[in-house]
Amino acid sequence: MFADKSVGSMRQIEFIRSNTFLWTAAVAAMLALFVAGLFAFIYWKIDDYLIMRSDRMIATQLNFLAELPPGRLNDAISDHLKQDSRGVQYAGLFDAAGTRLAGNIARLPPKLDLGGPVQSIRLARIAPPTLHDPVVKAAGRRLANGHILVMGRNVDETREISIVVGQALLLGLLPAFCLCLLAGVWLSVRAQKRVEQVNRHVQRIVAGDLSERLPQTNTDDPFARLAGIVNAMLDEMETTINALAGVGNDIAHDLRTPLTRVRLALERGRTHAATLENLQDVVDKAIAGIDQSLAIITALLRLAEIESNSRTAGFGDVALDEILRQVCDVYEPIAEDKGIALGVAIDRKAEVRGDPDLLFEAIANLVDNAVKFTPAGGRVTLELASDDETARVCVSDTGPGIGVGEREAVLRRFYRSDKMRNTPGVGLGLSLVAAIVKLHGFRLTIYPGPGGQLEILAPTREATREATASEPGRSLHASLAPM
């Protein structure tokens, strides 16, 4: 019970502090301010208008009465006052000395500017009598016979209007304000509920259930869309994680093979080695096996290093023709030993943006592969063809080539064609090339046979410069040529 209560009160505080609620409260306050401002403006405008109208009426009445023949004036004044049921009208006729002749004004106000415009002035009234002489709008004029005519009107009625306006404001604003707050509470509670719901699902994912997804309604509200986005991301991550697990298995398997050999050799050597020479043979074998395992680990780490390296700040201008010549220089004797002709054909110089060491590594790997898989008497050609926009590095050989079915597989880690099972090597060469090419934003294409043909397509330095001015980078990666 107590626990429930404390959770409940915590939740209250939480929703009051929640952003949604605060925002609606702020909106409600803004609305109230705005409405109050609007009403004040309306009041001020109406007041202004009423006073102006009454001023005009006073002036008109004054003019009208002043034009009447003196004999009819007294009657006209009393008629005028009689029609005023609310008792807001003032009228008075005084002689030149200021003595009242007719009307309901007790004294001629001394401050009244005769012949001037309508002005605010205190006027004493004879009937009905008032406690204080109210301030009214009035104007006076001296007539042709020397008498003074004063007309006035009490404009205190505008105060009544203000009261009415105030009441209307209260009546309209209070419910609106409450409604706003209620909406705020509702929205924030609803948002909180959904966050909690999402949290429950996320906790399940965190706990390891990768197939869990956020609840997704078909409505078009932001929450549903967010859930959709998160679910898509989770799909992607689940695929990647599963793929990684697959790679992990591959690695384990590939390490297991040489390690098993080492283990067997050592075990047999321990029991069967009769001479020191025998034992040394065994140990040599073991070291070779361990070296192979280490080579796999080194290659994997290198691959991870390249794949995770998103920094391209160290990129500079690389002369591809130079790199090709260096690679050729390194591999010429190896090819020659195997009876393979290694040729390099460069039609013109080409500069690209990149890391020279990595590009050397990529091209060296391609040539290494080509030399390895081409039988004696064959030929490996390293070619650089470029125009103003693109540089094309092509490594082709007269070897078995890469079969249509294998073209995608060779880019995977550890893939080794059945034909190549007995060829030494780690099987990460092309994965490394693909990773380097991807890092540079170049394109790697594997062409169908006959013979092996791989191609790296890179934008030249000039093209890169133009591209960075117009579009931010290109994203090309490994692709397969049409069959």
Partner 1 sequence: MTRILLIEDDTETADAIVSELTERGFEVRWAPDGIGGLDRARESSPDALIVDRMLPGMDGLTVIEALRKDQVRTPVLVLSALGAVDDRVRGLRVGGDDYLTKPFALVELVARVEALLRRPVDSRETTLHAGPLELDLIERRARRGEREIDLLPREFRLLEYMMRRSDQLLTRAMLLEEVWNYKFVPATTNLIDVHMGRLRHKVDGPGEMQLIHNVRGAGFILRVR
- Give least dist CB 405 to partner 1, A: 23
In this structure, the strands spanning 379-386 and 341-346 are: parallel
Rg (CA), the chain: 49
Residue of 299, 350, 384, 402 that binds partner 1 (CB under 8 A):
299
The CB density around residue 459, as the number of other CB atoms within 10 Å, is: 22
- Give least dist CB 293 to partner 1, A: 10
Residue of 181, 334, 457, 480 that binds partner 1 (CB under 8 A):
334
- Give least dist CB 303 to partner 1, A: 11
Q: Which is nearer to partner 1, 213 or 372 (CB)?
A: 372
- Give least dist CB 426 to partner 1, A: 7
Q: Which is nearer to partner 1, 80 or 302 (CB)?
A: 302
Burial profile 123-159: b = 16 or more Cβ within 10 angstroms, e = fewer: bbbeeeeeeeebebbbbbbebeeebbbbbbbbbeeee
Q: Tell which positions 3-32 bind partner 1, by CB under 8 A.
A: none
- Give least dist CB 361 to partner 1, A: 5
* Residue at token pair 């294998």: 406
The CB density around residue 229, as the number of other CB atoms within 10 Å, is: 11
Q: Which is nearer to partner 1, 108 or 364 (CB)?
A: 364
Q: Are 383 and 350 in contact (CB under 8 A)?
A: no
CA distance 144 to 112: 18
CA distance 102 to 147: 11
Q: What is the dihedral of CA 249, 250, 254, 260, to 10 degrees?
A: 30
Q: Are 20 and 27 in contact (CB under 8 A)?
A: no
Q: Which is nearer to partner 1, 152 or 429 (CB)?
A: 429
Q: Which is nearer to partner 1, 119 or 293 (CB)?
A: 293
Query: Of 140-148, 158-166, 210-218, 298-306, which segment contacts partner 1 by CB under 8 A?
Result: 298-306
Number of H helices and number of E strands within the chain?
Answer: 10, 13
Residue of 95, 337, 387, 462 that binds partner 1 (CB under 8 A):
337
- Helix, strand or coil for residue 361? helix
Query: Of 45-53, 367-375, 376-384, 452-460, which segment contacts partner 1 by CB under 8 A?
Result: 367-375
* C-alpha to C-alpha distances, 8 to 13, 187, 191, nearest whole angstrom: 9, 18, 17
Q: Which is nearer to partner 1, 201 or 440 (CB)?
A: 440
- Give least dist CB 337 to partner 1, A: 6
Residue of 202, 295, 457, 480 that binds partner 1 (CB under 8 A):
295
Q: Tell which positions 44-63 bind partner 1, by CB under 8 A.
A: none
Q: Are 433 and 362 in contact (CB under 8 A)?
A: yes
CA distance 448 to 454: 9
CA distance 65 to 311: 96
Q: Are 20 and 184 in contact (CB under 8 A)?
A: yes
According to the binding rule CB under 8 A, does residue 330 interact with partner 1? yes
Q: Which is nearer to partner 1, 102 or 371 (CB)?
A: 371
- Give least dist CB 459 to partner 1, A: 24
Residue of 96, 168, 179, 294 that binds partner 1 (CB under 8 A):
294
Q: Tell which positions 181-210 bind partner 1, by CB under 8 A.
A: none
In this structure, the strands spanning 479-480 and 443-447 are: parallel
Q: Which is nearer to partner 1, 169 or 426 (CB)?
A: 426
Q: Tell which positions 422-481 bind partner 1, by CB under 8 A.
A: 424-426, 429
Q: Which is nearer to partner 1, 155 or 335 (CB)?
A: 335
Length of the chain: 483
CA 56: distance to chain centroid?
61
CA distance 310 to 314: 11
Site string for partner 1, 368-397 (x = CB under 8 A): xx-xx-------------------------
* Residue at token pair 């080492």: 262
Q: Which is nearer to partner 1, 128 or 424 (CB)?
A: 424
- Give least dist CB 441 to partner 1, A: 20
152: nearest Cα among 213, 97, 215, 109: 109
CA distance 415 to 430: 9
Q: Which is nearer to partner 1, 227 or 342 (CB)?
A: 342
# residues near partner 1 by CB under 8 A: 27
Determine phi and psi for 415, rounding to 5 degrees: -70, 130
Q: Which is nearer to partner 1, 267 or 305 (CB)?
A: 305
Q: Which distant-in-sequence residues (6+ apart) come within 8 Å of 38 by Cβ?
A: none
Site string for partner 1, 347-366 (x = CB under 8 A): ----------x---x--xx-
Residues lying near partner 1 in the complex (CB under 8 A) are found at 284, 287, 294-295, 298-299, 301-302, 305, 329-331, 333-334, 337, 357, 361, 364-365, 368-369, 371-372, 424-426, 429
